[in-house]
């Protein structure tokens, strides 16, 4: 696991290289190997002038052993404490070795990898496109528990450590990591990386960590200092504001670990950090988040739902039909991924809206000749979509992949407008395309496996996470998020105050309140989608929420944020507060609804429909549902995804029946 090599100058290079994995992790093999390496360093100290810690992998160190972490229970707490104590003991022995120790970071150093580097006296990173440094633990419901919190706070001070590194989950490029204090230098080549490390060792034979030097003072002061003490009350208030009231244990534990650890000596701070990490590791929320954002995400990106079909001719030239916001975003994503992109609209002026590096814009269909991918992103009208495909099909490559960026219209019906339904599928991008990582691939009744495989590979080349679902109105994401919006708007008709609705969703962990989200989507679009659903389904059940949306759009002319008026009022493009007329929109006398009921109505409405999607075959895999719900429609990450929430709930069906008794049969579990 760790190769130990001492040269003629007495410099020992510890090269981490796990033979069983493509990346180094903090597994049992690492722990044993690091202990042995440090033992040998101490045994040979008289012959050692310095130490370089590096990696033989493409990355430096990938972090903790998540498969082991995910299995941890309360019964494992003593063993976990011993394991973490061993890791920290070896780090402490390394940084107090009495010889300069340099981390030569040749790739990504995230989580545990950054903690390895922090136990060294000096850190140099190779400036490659994939090199990132950071603590992503908070995004998995954990905290950096191998000294990450303790050392970062002592190196930078409480405020920078928390706001830049520990609470954000940010992954910084080397230059940004230097600016923000955890990296000392950047190398442009592997040879320079080693040379800089050796130069620093020669120049700093008596290197120590800042906190081990006489007279050390924590940057910004400890909580006992007057300036920091004055700021302390704002820390939890700011965190609560950032979390929008959601009760998430990992950020809270990180804050507690940092502040409490800053008030005690280094070793005691390490113990506080260990205990708080074990509390998170053995809890339910971390398991949910690791399950979705590590295991499920890895499975989805690895092609769990991708048909086992070899694609011999990868896509090269992409035609995007429509230069609106979505079309322009898709074109830019394709251009950034290295595709030759042509954007067509009805006039040169409209097409020019999508202009950018690597993008040709046109109103002439003949400019699409040879395109082997067509992505349509025009108005959500089946007739319009069929017309644009009919125009371009005679021009593009005869075997071109044909995709519609519709969010709700059934793909099977759209494909009937072409003579190549086997090559046709839905590619539902999410707005804004540049930021949203999800891509929903929708297979119609006649879409071939080869087409799905080609689209999946295209999505991965775009840097997206592609989930694969089967056809059905609204597919998976739009259908399920519709339940979220219907439930919120239905609460308005019941007389639940609008601020209570928004706050309940935020406290449940949703990133945006549902009324604000409806304004962003536009109430006009919400209305149009519902009308389409209603026209296609003879058994469609009208809800009070539907009548309220009709009243907002048709009677009160409040179609959403784009028009500057919806559930919210707007000034200069920004929300200025909830519309004062909402209170009069209730159709029944207001009643007090417990906060827990409000939160669960959101969570259960979506989870129940996701279960139906899986049972009906709209969802092909539960993993797609979990990942799609978090990355695509903002289902709270602490749940581990919409289907995991149902599976891990102590009494999901019982609670659903309770909600059904109080609020309606839509909550009856199948």
Q: Encode pLDDT of 343-372 as tens digits.
A: 999 999 999 999 999 999 999 999 999 999
Q: Is 115 a catalytic residue?
A: yes
Report pLDDT for 242.
Answer: 87
- Which DSSP helix (H) or strand (E) runs through 124? strand 122-126
Q: Encode pLDDT of 574-586 as tens digits.
A: 999 999 999 888 7
Please report, for the chain, the start and end positions of each structural domain, with discontinuous segments joined by +.
Answer: 2-207+221-282, 317-470, 477-667
CB–CB of 510/481 below 8 Å? no
Q: How far is CA 397 from the centre of its chain?
A: 36
- Burial tier of 82 (Cβ tally within 10 Å: 0-12, 13-18, 19+): exposed
Cα gap 259→38, rounded to integer Å: 31
Report pLDDT for 590.
Answer: 64
Cα gap 221→319, rounded to integer Å: 58
Report pLDDT for 629.
Answer: 98
Q: Among residues 214, 210, 199, which one has the least CA distance to residue 49?
A: 199
Instruction: Tell me the residue length of the chain.
Output: 670
3-class SS letters over 245-312? CCCCHHHHHHHHHHHHHCCCCHHHHHHHHHHHHHHHHCCHHHHHHHHHHHHHHHHHHCCCCCCCCCCC
Strands 359-362 and 373-376: unpaired
The single residue listed with the structure tokens 């990132």 is 132
Report pLDDT for 313.
Answer: 87
Report pLDDT for 247.
Answer: 81
Q: Among residues 330, 327, 358, which one has the least CA distance to residue 344?
A: 327
What DSSP string describes 156-198? H-HHHIIIIIITT--EE-HHHHHHTTS--EEESSHHHHHHHHH
CATH code for residues 2-207+221-282 = 3.90.226.10
φ, ψ dihedrals at 131, nearest 5°:
-75, 120
CB–CB of 423/374 below 8 Å? no
Catalytic residue among 44, 82, 95, 137: 137
Q: Is the peptide bond before 432 cis (omega within 30 degrees of 0)?
A: yes
Tokens found for residue 37: 């390496």
Residue 82's contacts (CB-CB under 8 Å, 6 or more residues apart) are none
Q: Is 349 a catalytic residue?
A: no
Q: Residues of the chain whose pLDDT is less than 50?
A: none
Tokens found for residue 537: 């389904």
CATH code for residues 317-470 = 3.40.50.720
User: Cα(first)–Cα(last) distance of the chain, in Å?
Assistant: 50
CB–CB of 439/465 below 8 Å? yes
Secondary structure (3-state) at 575: strand
Measure Cα distances from 458 to 205, 311, 377, 439, 464 in Å: 52, 11, 17, 10, 9
CATH code for residues 477-667 = 1.10.1040.50
Catalytic residue among 95, 115, 273, 487: 115
Write down the pTM of the prediction.
0.92
Half-sphere exposure of 628 (CA within 13 A, CB side): 32
Secondary structure (3-state) at 52: strand
């Amino acid at each position: 696991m760790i190769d130990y090599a001492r040269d003629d100058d007495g410099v020992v290079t510890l090269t981490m290289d796990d033979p069983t994995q493509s990346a180094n992790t903090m597994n049992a093999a690492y722990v044993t190997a690091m202990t042995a390496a440090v033992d040998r360093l101490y045994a040979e100290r008289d012959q050692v002038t310095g130490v370089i810690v590096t990696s033989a992998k493409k990355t430096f160190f990938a972090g903790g052993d998540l498969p082991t972490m995910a299995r941890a229970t309360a019964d494992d707490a003593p063993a976990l404490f011993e394991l973490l104590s061993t890791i920290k003991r070896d780090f402490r022995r390394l940084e107090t070795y009495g010889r300069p120790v340099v981390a030569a970071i040749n790739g990504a150093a995230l989580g545990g990898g950054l903690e390895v580097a922090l136990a060294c006296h000096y850190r140099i990173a190779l400036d490659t496109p994939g090199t990132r440094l950071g603590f992503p633990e908070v995004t998995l419901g954990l905290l950096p528990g191998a000294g990450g919190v303790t050392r970062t706070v002592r190196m930078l001070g409480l405020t920078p450590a928390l706001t830049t590194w520990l609470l954000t989950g940010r992954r910084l490029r080397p230059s940004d990591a230097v600016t923000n204090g955890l990296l000392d230098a950047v190398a442009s080549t592997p040879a320079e990386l080693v040379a800089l490390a050796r130069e620093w060792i020669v120049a700093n034979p008596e290197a120590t960590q800042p906190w081990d030097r006489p007279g050390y003072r924590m940057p910004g002061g400890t909580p006992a200092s007057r300036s920091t003490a004055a700021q302390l009350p704002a820390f939890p208030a700011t965190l609560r504001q950032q979390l929008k009231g959601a009760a998430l244990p990992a950020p809270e534990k990180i804050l507690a670990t940092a502040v409490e650890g800053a008030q005690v000596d280094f070793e005691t701070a390490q113990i506080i950090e260990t205990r708080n990490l074990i509390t998170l590791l053995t809890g339910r929320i971390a398991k949910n988040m690791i399950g979705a954002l590590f295991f499920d995400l890895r499975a989805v990106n690895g092609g769990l739902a991708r048909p086992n079909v070899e694609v011999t001719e990868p896509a090269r030239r992409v035609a995007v039909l429509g230069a609106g916001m979505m079309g322009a975003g898709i074109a830019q994503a394709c251009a950034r991924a290295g595709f030759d992109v042509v954007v067509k609209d009805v006039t040169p002026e409209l097409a020019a809206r999508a202009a950018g590096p690597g993008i040709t814009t046109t109103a002439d269909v003949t400019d699409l000749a040879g395109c082997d991918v067509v992505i349509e992103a025009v108005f959500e009208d089946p007739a319009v979509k069929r017309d644009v495909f009919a125009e371009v099909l005679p021009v593009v490559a005869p075997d071109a992949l044909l995709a519609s960026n519709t969010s709700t219209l059934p793909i099977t019906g759209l494909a009937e407008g072409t003579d190549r339904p086997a090559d046709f599928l839905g590619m539902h991008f999410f707005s804004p395309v540049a930021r949203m990582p999800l891509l929903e691939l929708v297979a119609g009744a006649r879409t071939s496996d080869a087409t799905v495989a080609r689209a999946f590979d295209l999505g991965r080349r775009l840097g997206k996470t592609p989930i694969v679902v089967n056809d059905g109105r609204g597919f998976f994401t739009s259908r399920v998020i519709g339940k979220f919006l219907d439930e919120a708007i239905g609460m308005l008709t019941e007389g639940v105050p609008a601020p209570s609705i928004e706050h309940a969703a935020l406290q449940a962990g949703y990133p945006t309140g549902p009324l604000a989200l409806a304004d962003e989507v536009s109430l006009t679009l919400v209305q149009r989608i519902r009308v389409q659903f209603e026209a296609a389904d003879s058994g469609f059940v009208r809800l009070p929420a539907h009548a309220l949306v009709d009243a907002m759009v048709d009677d009160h002319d409040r179609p959403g944020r784009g028009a500057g008026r919806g559930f919210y009022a707007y000034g200069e493009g920004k929300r200025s507060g909830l519309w004062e007329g909402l209170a009069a929109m209730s159709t029944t006398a207001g009643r007090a609804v417990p906060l827990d009921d409000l939160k669960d109505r959101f969570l259960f409405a979506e989870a129940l429909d996701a279960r139906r999607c899986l049972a009906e075959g709209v969802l092909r895999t539960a993993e797609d549902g979990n990942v799609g719900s978090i990355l695509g429609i903002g289902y709270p990450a602490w749940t581990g995804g919409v289907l995991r929430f149902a599976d891990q709930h102590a009494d999901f069906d019982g609670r659903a029946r309770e909600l059904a008794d109080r609020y309606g049969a839509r909550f009856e579990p199948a």
